[in-house]
Amino acid sequence: MKVLIVDDEVIIRTGLCRVIDWEQNGFTILEPASSAEEAMRRIPAERPEIVFTDIRMTGKSGLDLIRETKTDCPDTEWIVISGYDEFSYAQQAIREGVSEYLLKTSRPDEIVRAALRAKERLAERRKREELGRETDRLLNRSFLGRVLAASSGPDEGEVRELYERYPRLRPADVQRLQIWLVSAADGVPGSGNPHPRDALYAALGDWLMQKLPCEWLPWNSSLLLLVLIRVDSPGKRPMEALLRNAETELGCTLFAACGQAVGGAHFLREALETAETARSYAWLLQDRRIIRHEDIHARKGCRGICTQGEEAELASLLKSGDESALNDWIMQRMEELRRNGEATPATAAAYLQSLLLAGHRWLERAAASIGYAGQLTDMEGSSRMTLAADPQPELFRRLKSIMDEYRLLVSDTTPAERAATYIREHLEENLSLAQVARHVHMNPNYFSEVFKRETGRNYIEFVTEARLQKAMELLRETPAKISEVAKRIGYEDIKYFNRLFKRFTGQTPSEYRDNS
């Protein structure tokens, strides 16, 4: 914190500089001024936070200095150190905004304490001012967020209020407003922070506000920037350079999309919608880190339906069971979409949906060809593929599930054998016939008939026998209590278990264990 001493007596000003160890107390002492006039010339450039000044000096007085300087330096702490112990001087000094009034006979420690009190007042005042500014920033961003979230553009009153809150964003003749949506790639620095992206976006927004006229706010897991740009320099794109510099400065990788430049706040809805449209291309143009609406708005779209040849290729892959080949084929289709200069997110998504529907249609035909009368995975629900940042993994997951379902349809084991295996692996559960039928993709009534025909027992008989056989195994091979054995095969009622076990083996569980 810088301190300036103003006194026309060389002994006083030199003594104050040398007798007190200013540095040890956290101050930087500036070259003292020999007059009020000299101080007036230097203060605007040197910006001392604390000024010690005499009152009566050759030329202008210390009170003149305070009066003529405090308008441009409202935060400066003024401390009078005078040789005159007169009440009228003190009164006038207080009226001029002096914080403290000391005599030149004051001891060095009294002068230091006065400086430290001034330092505390400055710190407290700055803290209050920063808190007020932060409150204003939050209120302003809340207002801007409400304006942008509205279904229609801002009305006249909202436009006026927006410019009152953000006067530096009012466009001039050669300026436009533009919205940027910026997001960070994975691997955000600051993993110790519970919300590292929020902290990164705040740091990025504040950093950019120092470089150009803009305002920022959090927006749907990204950073929204409202930027004032010039349109009279078409070859220059300062935002791109700033974002690249920000990556180096903050240690991150950024993706950015910007909307159409608009003539004023009346058109913010258009600016936002075009920015969101540009951002929707992120997975389609994943090799680009910056996407501008002007670069993609003229695209007409690609075909939204796969060809018969692609359907045949997909059917062959699904039938082969080769997951790696299926993934490679999907990657090829994605790459073709990305190379297509007319593709849009909507038409590309429709094309990918058509691949998924083609897979389902093939599975239905395959099931019908082998006389399968069971229930397949819900086609309508499965076909609604969610397009995330990269739809490739989701498309692979859905098509792989079709491949797995086909593998079950044509496996060597019968539905009854697969059901028996499932029952033996889930004996501790409350197994219903409907649950097991779903596992083998069959109608419950039809499954019941097939199961009895193939196993020679109805469903309840088979489950009971499987449980009791497992109980016999546990009694022979483990020291588990009989109550624990009963629970492990799905029976909570120990008396009921004992009756079933004796009816099945002719012995109680204890007798069976003793005789084994």
Q: Which of 492, 493, 439, 500 is nearest to 469 (CA)?
A: 500
Smallest CA-to-CA distance from 475 within 485, 465, 487 is with 485
What fold, for 415-515? Arc Repressor Mutant, subunit A (1.10.10)
Are the CB atoms for 446 and 454 separated by under 8 Å? no
Q: Could you check whether 2-124 and 167-296 share the same CATH topology?
A: no
Give this prediction's pTM.
0.62
Show pLDDT as tens, one digit a residue, over the chain (516 residues).
999 999 999 999 889 998 889 999 999 999 999 999 999 999 999 999 999 998 888 999 888 998 888 888 888 999 988 877 655 666 677 777 788 888 888 899 999 999 999 999 999 988 988 888 888 888 999 999 999 988 888 899 999 999 999 999 999 888 999 999 999 876 444 444 445 788 899 999 999 999 999 999 999 889 999 999 888 766 557 888 899 999 998 888 899 999 999 999 999 999 999 999 999 999 899 888 999 999 999 999 999 999 999 999 999 999 888 999 999 999 999 999 999 999 999 999 899 999 999 999 888 887 775 556 666 766 544 444 565 567 888 899 889 989 988 887 767 667 888 788 788 888 888 888 998 888 887 888 888 998 898 888 899 999 999 999 999 989 988 889 999 999 988 888 999 999 999 999 999 999 999 887
Among 149, 126, 141, 148, smallest CA distance to 201 is for: 141
- How far apart, in whole angstroms, are the C-alpha atoms of residue 286 and residue 289? 7
Question: Which amino acid is located at 180 in the chain?
Answer: W
Give CA separation, 449 vs 116, 195, 415, in Å.
94, 57, 11
**Reading across the β-sheet that carries 100-103, which strands appear in turn?**
28-29, 2-6, 50-53, 77-82, 100-103
What region, left, alpha or beta, does residue 97 occupy, with left being phi > 0 and alpha being psi -120 to 50 degrees? left
- Which residue ranges make up each domain of the chain? 2-124, 167-296, 308-409, 415-515
**Residues near 447 by Cβ (< 8 Å), separated by ≥ 6?**
374, 415, 419, 433, 436, 437, 440
Q: Please compute, for residue 421, the number of CA atoms within 13 A of its CA located in the half-sphere on the CB side.
A: 8
What fold is seen in the domain 2-124? Rossmann fold (3.40.50)
Written as one string, the DSSP assignment of 313-377 is HHHHHHHHT-HHHHHHHHHHHHHHHHH-TT--HHHHHHHHHHHHHHHHHHHHHHHHHTT--SPPP
Q: Which top CATH class is 167-296?
A: alpha beta
CA 405 to chain centre: 37
